[in-house]
Amino acid sequence: MDVTHLFLEDGREIIVIGTAHISQKSVDVVKATIAKESPDVVAIELDEGRYDALKNPDAWQNLNLREVMKNGQTTFLIARLALMSFQKKMASHTGVKPGAEMIAAIKASEDSDDIELELIDRDIQITLKRAWRMTPWWRRSLMASMLIGGVFQKTEVDEDELEKLRESHNIADLLDEMGEGMPELKKVIVDERDSYMAAKIRAIDGKKIVVVIGAAHKSGMLKKLAENEKVNLDDLRIVPEKEKWTKIIPWLFPLAVIGVFAFAYFNGNYEEMKTAALAWVLMNGTLAALGSMIALAHPLTIIAAFIAAPITSLVPVIGVGMITGPIQATFSSPTVRDMENAGDDFSFKGVWSNKFLRVLLVFVLSTIGSLVGSLASLGWLKTLIYPVFEQLSTSLTSLL
């Protein structure tokens, strides 16, 4: 059943609709249920950001891409684009726009003076950051590959498949599988949001409330509502601090490189130091520029990558992508169409043709190029300290 009725201890009636976000049947059930029940409140699984995006599809026009990169939010933007692309690709098989059932619920509220609208989900930025910070580093690569893999996966679905997925036992199996492979991700994406939304629903002032949520949340949220789980919403809005080692580790490699050059200087290895310095500049600069070229960057962006990479690779707080991305956005400015179609164009071919996505591609590939260049330079850096170790080895051998 898509619709479940629950009566709380104070007599309030909660009518929960479990939906698939790209299903026409879900849209029809939402419309019919709200019309039949005439609730005081319609509560939907959206936060302010996603609500604004649904209400204002042109919001991309107001996105300041330079600020996104400057504030270190590029990874989260790419993650959101990947999710959008996956949803739109699935929607192309059903002909239903992602979130259409939420739009139907919003419209039902707007068309009636007696129905209030409540947004009950947690801020998506907080959810993504909590998921990333609470997932151990060795699982983060798996999490990223799953996200990107979904974009390129060729899967076709229709209403019959969606109907099967909405069945409780199939959802339970999928969530159990997710819990075994990615327990931290399930906790943040599913369990915490079940608790958050259940608490938000209990705080709503209304005798009859229709709740529109994704089918994956229905069972867990109903259970928490029935049990009257006590939740501190502020605790679920906290983004955990980065672990101290994640702040220290990025500095270890640059400090080691600087230390090697200083060591060579004080030991008089000037020729070897010049050779290693040249290798550092050429390897970092060339590979960062090559990454930008592969991304079809503007010529000035490519030059900037070559100049900036040898320096930024020694300063972890400023990656080369934070230089090349804004420059690419300046000289090859994304159009409104590029921003509006970013989700549709987020594919292997589309990222090169869409100027908005190409800025992100320049950011990523120039950064990867600089990283590879730094690692490739280790062979020359080794020559700066090898003679010293050889001398120490000889001295120890003679003493023994």
Q: Which residue has the higher pLDDT, 241 or 15?
A: 15
Q: 253 and 211, same structural domain? A: no
Q: 18 and 105, same structural domain? A: yes
Q: 178 and 70, same structural domain? A: yes
The pLDDT of residue 86 is 59
Q: 174 and 262, same structural domain? A: no
Residue type for position 169: H
Q: 180 and 318, same structural domain? A: no
The yes-or-no verdict on residue 162 having pLDDT over 70 is no
Q: 213 and 68, same structural domain? A: yes
Residues 6+ apart with CB under 8 A from 223: 194
Percent of the chain, pLDDT > 90?
36
Average pLDDT, the chain: 81
The last residue of a domain, from among 170, 203, 236: 236
For residue 105 the two structure tokens come to 């619920």
Winning range, highest mean pLDDT, from 14-28, 55-69, 140-154, 171-185: 14-28
The yes-or-no verdict on residue 398 having pLDDT over 90 is no
The yes-or-no verdict on residue 61 having pLDDT over 50 is yes
Q: 110 and 30, same structural domain? A: yes
The yes-or-no verdict on residue 90 having pLDDT over 60 is no
Percent of the chain, pLDDT > 70?
75
Q: 261 and 322, same structural domain? A: yes
pLDDT digits (tens, 9 = 90+) for 272-292: 888 889 999 999 999 999 999
Q: 137 and 14, same structural domain? A: yes
The pLDDT of residue 169 is 46
Q: Which residue has the higher pLDDT, 296 or 54?
A: 296
The pLDDT of residue 54 is 82
The yes-or-no verdict on residue 62 having pLDDT over 80 is no
The last residue of a domain, from among 186, 219, 236: 236
Q: 197 and 266, same structural domain? A: no
Domain that holds residue 36: 3-236
* 386 half-sphere exposure, CB direction, 13 A CA radius: 9
The last residue of a domain, from among 236, 255, 270: 236
Count up the domains in the chain and report the number.
2
> Is-contact 19 1, C-beta < 8 A?
no
- Report how far residue 222's alpha carbon sits from residue 226's, in angstroms, rounded to the nearest whole number: 6
Q: 217 and 304, same structural domain? A: no
Q: 379 and 258, same structural domain? A: yes
